[in-house]
Amino acid sequence: MIEAGTKLRLRFAKEGRAVYISHLDLMRTMQRAFLRAGYPLKYSEGFNPHPVISILLPLGVGAASVCELMDFSLTAPLDEAELPERLTAAMPEGVRALEVYPGGRKVKELKWLELEGVFEYDARDPAEMAAGLRDFFARPSIVITKKTKRGTGESDIAPAIRFLSFSPDEKRVLLRGVISAQEPTLNPEHLANALRQLAPELAPDFAEFRRLEVCDAEMKVFR
Protein backbone atom coordinates (compact mmCIF):
# COMPACT_ATOMS: atom_id res chain seq x y z
CA MET A 1 0.00 0.00 0.00
CA ILE A 2 1.14 3.53 -0.81
CA GLU A 3 0.18 6.38 1.52
CA ALA A 4 -2.33 9.02 0.46
CA GLY A 5 -0.78 12.18 -0.98
CA THR A 6 2.37 10.42 -2.26
CA LYS A 7 3.61 11.58 -5.65
CA LEU A 8 2.84 8.80 -8.08
CA ARG A 9 3.84 8.00 -11.64
CA LEU A 10 1.69 5.98 -14.01
CA ARG A 11 3.05 4.26 -17.09
CA PHE A 12 0.39 3.65 -19.71
CA ALA A 13 -0.10 2.67 -23.33
CA LYS A 14 -2.14 4.59 -25.91
CA GLU A 15 -2.80 2.53 -29.01
CA GLY A 16 -5.47 1.56 -31.52
CA ARG A 17 -8.38 3.96 -31.82
CA ALA A 18 -7.12 5.91 -28.80
CA VAL A 19 -4.22 7.38 -30.83
CA TYR A 20 -6.67 9.98 -32.16
CA ILE A 21 -7.44 11.35 -28.69
CA SER A 22 -5.65 14.70 -28.41
CA HIS A 23 -3.45 15.59 -25.45
CA LEU A 24 -6.05 17.96 -23.99
CA ASP A 25 -8.85 15.42 -24.40
CA LEU A 26 -6.63 12.75 -22.84
CA MET A 27 -6.19 14.88 -19.70
CA ARG A 28 -9.99 15.08 -19.38
CA THR A 29 -10.33 11.38 -20.12
CA MET A 30 -7.79 10.56 -17.41
CA GLN A 31 -9.62 12.61 -14.80
CA ARG A 32 -12.86 10.84 -15.58
CA ALA A 33 -11.29 7.39 -15.73
CA PHE A 34 -9.73 7.85 -12.28
CA LEU A 35 -13.12 8.87 -10.91
CA ARG A 36 -14.83 5.90 -12.56
CA ALA A 37 -12.24 3.53 -11.17
CA GLY A 38 -12.73 5.02 -7.70
CA TYR A 39 -9.28 6.60 -7.38
CA PRO A 40 -9.72 10.10 -5.92
CA LEU A 41 -7.24 12.42 -7.62
CA LYS A 42 -5.72 15.16 -5.52
CA TYR A 43 -7.00 18.58 -6.53
CA SER A 44 -5.18 21.88 -6.62
CA GLU A 45 -6.21 24.45 -4.06
CA GLY A 46 -7.52 27.85 -4.96
CA PHE A 47 -10.40 29.50 -6.70
CA ASN A 48 -10.85 26.94 -9.46
CA PRO A 49 -9.66 23.56 -8.15
CA HIS A 50 -8.55 21.03 -10.76
CA PRO A 51 -6.80 17.67 -10.48
CA VAL A 52 -3.03 17.98 -10.44
CA ILE A 53 -2.02 15.63 -13.22
CA SER A 54 0.81 16.02 -15.65
CA ILE A 55 1.72 13.95 -18.68
CA LEU A 56 5.50 14.04 -19.08
CA LEU A 57 5.91 14.00 -22.84
CA PRO A 58 2.76 14.98 -24.75
CA LEU A 59 2.11 12.60 -27.62
CA GLY A 60 1.00 13.84 -31.03
CA VAL A 61 -2.40 12.89 -32.43
CA GLY A 62 -2.06 9.73 -34.53
CA ALA A 63 1.02 8.35 -32.77
CA ALA A 64 0.88 5.25 -30.57
CA SER A 65 2.88 4.62 -27.42
CA VAL A 66 3.52 1.93 -24.84
CA CYS A 67 5.63 4.15 -22.59
CA GLU A 68 3.54 7.20 -21.63
CA LEU A 69 4.21 8.61 -18.18
CA MET A 70 1.86 10.65 -16.05
CA ASP A 71 2.37 12.16 -12.58
CA PHE A 72 -0.47 12.53 -10.08
CA SER A 73 -1.41 12.10 -6.42
CA LEU A 74 -4.38 10.53 -4.69
CA THR A 75 -6.21 11.56 -1.55
CA ALA A 76 -6.56 7.92 -0.49
CA PRO A 77 -4.04 5.12 0.10
CA LEU A 78 -3.31 3.03 -2.98
CA ASP A 79 -2.90 -0.69 -3.58
CA GLU A 80 -0.46 -0.31 -6.48
CA ALA A 81 -0.72 -3.93 -7.63
CA GLU A 82 -4.44 -3.56 -8.21
CA LEU A 83 -4.37 -0.27 -10.13
CA PRO A 84 -3.43 -1.35 -13.67
CA GLU A 85 -6.36 -3.70 -14.13
CA ARG A 86 -8.90 -1.52 -12.35
CA LEU A 87 -7.90 1.68 -14.13
CA THR A 88 -7.69 0.01 -17.55
CA ALA A 89 -11.26 -1.23 -17.11
CA ALA A 90 -12.33 2.41 -16.72
CA MET A 91 -10.47 3.62 -19.83
CA PRO A 92 -11.68 4.06 -23.40
CA GLU A 93 -10.56 1.37 -25.84
CA GLY A 94 -6.83 1.54 -26.51
CA VAL A 95 -5.63 3.12 -23.26
CA ARG A 96 -4.02 0.63 -20.86
CA ALA A 97 -2.55 1.35 -17.45
CA LEU A 98 0.71 -0.66 -17.19
CA GLU A 99 2.19 0.14 -13.80
CA VAL A 100 2.21 2.72 -11.06
CA TYR A 101 5.00 3.59 -8.64
CA PRO A 102 5.88 6.33 -6.17
CA GLY A 103 8.19 9.15 -7.15
CA GLY A 104 10.05 8.67 -10.37
CA ARG A 105 13.04 10.45 -11.84
CA LYS A 106 13.13 14.14 -12.63
CA VAL A 107 11.57 15.00 -15.97
CA LYS A 108 14.65 16.88 -17.15
CA GLU A 109 16.68 13.64 -16.97
CA LEU A 110 14.54 12.21 -19.76
CA LYS A 111 16.49 12.52 -23.00
CA TRP A 112 16.01 9.80 -25.61
CA LEU A 113 12.99 8.20 -27.18
CA GLU A 114 13.06 4.73 -28.70
CA LEU A 115 10.53 4.37 -31.46
CA GLU A 116 9.38 2.31 -34.37
CA GLY A 117 7.57 3.45 -37.46
CA VAL A 118 6.03 2.31 -40.69
CA PHE A 119 6.55 4.10 -44.00
CA GLU A 120 3.98 2.94 -46.56
CA TYR A 121 4.78 3.10 -50.28
CA ASP A 122 1.91 2.37 -52.64
CA ALA A 123 3.83 2.19 -55.93
CA ARG A 124 7.50 2.11 -55.11
CA ASP A 125 9.93 -0.68 -54.28
CA PRO A 126 10.41 -0.87 -50.50
CA ALA A 127 13.94 -2.29 -50.81
CA GLU A 128 14.99 0.60 -53.00
CA MET A 129 13.30 3.04 -50.62
CA ALA A 130 15.02 1.53 -47.57
CA ALA A 131 18.40 1.97 -49.22
CA GLY A 132 17.58 5.57 -50.09
CA LEU A 133 16.35 6.26 -46.57
CA ARG A 134 19.55 4.92 -45.01
CA ASP A 135 21.60 7.26 -47.20
CA PHE A 136 19.32 10.21 -46.56
CA PHE A 137 19.34 9.94 -42.77
CA ALA A 138 23.12 9.42 -42.78
CA ARG A 139 23.57 13.02 -43.95
CA PRO A 140 25.50 15.13 -41.41
CA SER A 141 22.91 17.88 -41.58
CA ILE A 142 19.19 17.74 -42.43
CA VAL A 143 17.78 21.26 -42.41
CA ILE A 144 13.99 21.46 -42.58
CA THR A 145 11.50 24.28 -42.48
CA LYS A 146 9.14 24.09 -39.52
CA LYS A 147 6.01 26.05 -38.84
CA THR A 148 6.26 27.77 -35.50
CA LYS A 149 4.06 30.19 -33.63
CA ARG A 150 6.00 33.05 -35.22
CA GLY A 151 5.80 31.92 -38.82
CA THR A 152 8.35 29.48 -40.20
CA GLY A 153 11.82 28.63 -39.00
CA GLU A 154 14.68 26.47 -40.15
CA SER A 155 16.03 23.66 -38.06
CA ASP A 156 18.64 20.94 -38.42
CA ILE A 157 17.14 17.67 -37.21
CA ALA A 158 20.26 15.54 -37.77
CA PRO A 159 21.73 16.12 -34.28
CA ALA A 160 18.43 14.97 -32.75
CA ILE A 161 18.74 11.56 -34.39
CA ARG A 162 20.86 9.11 -32.44
CA PHE A 163 20.18 6.11 -34.57
CA LEU A 164 17.74 5.02 -37.31
CA SER A 165 17.43 1.73 -39.16
CA PHE A 166 15.23 0.83 -42.10
CA SER A 167 14.11 -2.63 -43.20
CA PRO A 168 11.83 -3.27 -46.15
CA ASP A 169 8.95 -5.72 -46.20
CA GLU A 170 6.30 -6.27 -48.87
CA LYS A 171 4.83 -2.80 -49.32
CA ARG A 172 6.43 -0.93 -46.48
CA VAL A 173 9.64 0.09 -44.84
CA LEU A 174 9.87 -0.57 -41.12
CA LEU A 175 11.79 1.96 -39.09
CA ARG A 176 13.50 1.57 -35.73
CA GLY A 177 15.36 4.34 -34.03
CA VAL A 178 16.32 6.54 -31.15
CA ILE A 179 15.64 10.27 -31.35
CA SER A 180 15.90 13.16 -28.95
CA ALA A 181 12.81 13.56 -26.77
CA GLN A 182 13.85 16.81 -25.11
CA GLU A 183 16.29 19.62 -25.82
CA PRO A 184 15.80 19.48 -28.67
CA THR A 185 12.44 17.80 -29.04
CA LEU A 186 12.09 16.00 -32.33
CA ASN A 187 8.55 15.14 -33.35
CA PRO A 188 8.87 11.90 -35.35
CA GLU A 189 6.50 13.39 -37.92
CA HIS A 190 9.44 15.56 -38.93
CA LEU A 191 11.27 12.46 -40.19
CA ALA A 192 8.61 12.16 -42.88
CA ASN A 193 8.44 15.94 -43.31
CA ALA A 194 12.17 16.05 -43.97
CA LEU A 195 11.68 13.60 -46.82
CA ARG A 196 8.76 15.58 -48.26
CA GLN A 197 10.87 18.73 -48.23
CA LEU A 198 14.31 17.43 -49.19
CA ALA A 199 13.83 14.07 -50.91
CA PRO A 200 10.25 13.77 -52.22
CA GLU A 201 11.22 10.63 -54.15
CA LEU A 202 11.70 8.91 -50.76
CA ALA A 203 8.68 10.45 -49.02
CA PRO A 204 6.23 7.76 -47.95
CA ASP A 205 2.57 7.80 -48.95
CA PHE A 206 1.75 7.33 -45.30
CA ALA A 207 3.82 7.24 -42.12
CA GLU A 208 2.97 6.22 -38.59
CA PHE A 209 4.97 5.96 -35.40
CA ARG A 210 4.96 4.20 -32.06
CA ARG A 211 6.90 5.17 -28.96
CA LEU A 212 8.54 2.13 -27.41
CA GLU A 213 10.64 3.40 -24.52
CA VAL A 214 11.92 6.57 -22.89
CA CYS A 215 15.57 6.73 -21.78
CA ASP A 216 17.98 9.07 -20.01
CA ALA A 217 21.14 10.58 -21.52
CA GLU A 218 23.02 7.30 -20.93
CA MET A 219 20.29 5.30 -22.73
CA LYS A 220 19.17 3.76 -19.43
CA VAL A 221 15.41 3.21 -19.20
CA PHE A 222 13.77 6.27 -17.63
CA ARG A 223 11.18 5.65 -14.92
Contact between 18 and another protein per CB under 8 A: yes
Contact between 158 and another protein per CB under 8 A: no
Contact between 165 and another protein per CB under 8 A: no
Shortest Å distance, C-beta 211 to another protein: 16
At residue 75, what is the residue type? Answer: T
The residues, any chain, with a CB within 8 Å of residue 155's CB and separated by 6 or more, are: 143, 144, 145, 146, 184
Length of the chain: 223
Q: Which is nearer to another protein, 61 or 138 (CB)?
A: 61
Interface segment toward another protein; rule CB under 8 A; list 67-75, 85-93, 144-152, 172-180:
85-93
179-218 binders of another protein (CB under 8 A): 205-206, 208
CA angle 62, 65, 69 (to 5 degrees): 120
Cβ density class 19-49: b for 16+ within 10 Å, e for less: bebeeeebbebbbebbeebebebbeeeeeee
Specify burial of residue 122 (Cβ count, 10 A radius: 0-12, 13-18, 19+): exposed
Q: Which is nearer to another protein, 20 or 163 (CB)?
A: 20
Interface segment toward another protein; rule CB under 8 A; list 31-39, 65-73, 134-142, 146-154:
31-39
Chain residues that interact with another protein, rule: CB under 8 A: 16-18, 20-22, 25-26, 28-29, 31-36, 43, 49, 61-62, 90-94, 205-206, 208
